[in-house]
Amino acid sequence: MTGLVAIHQPNFFPWLGYFEKIRRADALVFLDVVAYPRAGSGGMGSWCNRVRLAVQGEARWVTCPLQHMPLGTPIGTVSIDDAQPWRAKLLRTLEVNYGKAPRFEDGMMLLRPLILESEGNLAAFNIRAIKAIAVHLGLSTRFVLQSTLQYSGKATDLLVSLVRAVDGSAYLSGDGAAGYQRDELFAENGLGLVKLNFVQRAYCDPSRFIPGLSVIDYLMWDGRPLAEAVQGP
């Protein structure tokens, strides 16, 4: 029995709450078969290819550019557009804005090879980074690709199917699921439902702390194993 299962798209250097979900779960299923999510009517931006960092003291987007794709393209087949020098630009952004952070050198030792990784598949790039950062943060969760499992259904039915596919006993729900997730389906299928309820604390000087930024921000300012960080200073 796997126990508690989290399910998520493979996001681009995601925020600390994503890694708290990994810490809490016995297994995380990466959604690599569902359609790539799009923000707005025509753009390709989503948490899968962009995230916020502290740039000149404000939360601003940094983006991994993508090759054009039609609507409905599975996340696992989306390609990075390396015709644009986004990797060098991101490294420069980190140097300029985090160069004086106390954990900058340690953070860059971890992040530089991840950013420069030549992988052209977005999901594979993101998953490699997430796994490496998880290890750095002292996490040992089991990672599973949706594409390797037998599953069925959509929306909440898909979540139930994936939890059962990895022999899980309960689903770990993120804090943004209200309004579209049918919570009753878990109990109807003999599964528990656990809410993450993640409250992000300030891990640097409160005057410069900006909640909701990429895990990169945490690595630059704190960087402790996550089990220590969530217990307090």
Each residue's pLDDT tens digit, 120-137: 999 999 999 999 999 999
pLDDT at 166 over 60: yes
Q: What is the largest CA-CA distance in the chain?
A: 52
| Helix, strand or coil, per DSSP, at residue 127 | helix
Task: Answer for the pair 59, 50: CB distance below 8 angstroms, yes or no.
Answer: no
| Cβ contacts of 49 within 8 Å, gap of 6 or more | 12, 63, 64, 65, 66, 78, 122
Q: Predicted confidence band at 39 (pLDDT cuts at 50, 70, 90)?
A: low
CA 185 vs. chain centroid, Å, equals 25
Q: What angle do CA 74, 114, 177 make, to 5 degrees?
A: 45
Task: Answer for the pair 169, 160: CB distance below 8 angstroms, yes or no.
Answer: no
Digit-coded pLDDT (tens) for 181-202: 899 999 999 999 999 999 899 9
Rounded Cα gap, residues 140 and 198, in angstroms = 19
